[in-house]
Amino acid sequence: MFESLNIKTSSRVEMVDITEKIANFITRHNINSGICCLFVPHTTAGITINENADLTVQLDINSKLSDLIRAGDNYSHLEGNSDSHIKSTVVGSSLNIIIDRGRPVLGTWQGIYFCEFDGPRNRNLYIKLIEG
């Protein structure tokens, strides 16, 4: 089972909680046990797992990444989005999540986040389910 999920972002930098979309995809395909592979096919976006109980965590993550990897620094890449490329490398472009009892296995406070670093844009996320 393979699908592309479209994600519309609204800011240059944001974290979009996609936890329920992933859980619903797993449910729709009736997978009880296996692995959910997530891949972001963009060089200025990423994917991560982090706290989803308090919005300020995402704000802090984006703020610190922007402090460490500043937009407009003296980069060689002329397109003006080198900071976005670097942030996506730091965060990463893929995740594998265990599926058990038809649900993604996550900690109590964890959520799955699509990370936009060069938006707003329409993005894709590839999802592959491996039953087992």
Give me the CATH code for the 2-131 domain, please.
2.60.120.460
Question: How many percent of the chain have pLDDT more than 90?
Answer: 94
The predicted-structure confidence for 82-127, as pLDDT tens digits, reads as follows 999 999 999 999 999 999 999 999 999 999 999 999 999 999 999 9
Q: Where are the domains of the chain?
A: 2-131
CB 62, CB 116: distance < 8 Å: no
Cβ neighbors of 88 (< 8 A, separation 6 or more) are 40, 42, 43, 44, 45, 46, 115, 117
- 78 band by pLDDT with thresholds 50, 70 and 90: confident
| Mean pLDDT on 18-46 | 98
Q: Is the dihedral of CA 56, 58, 59, 60 positive or negative?
A: positive
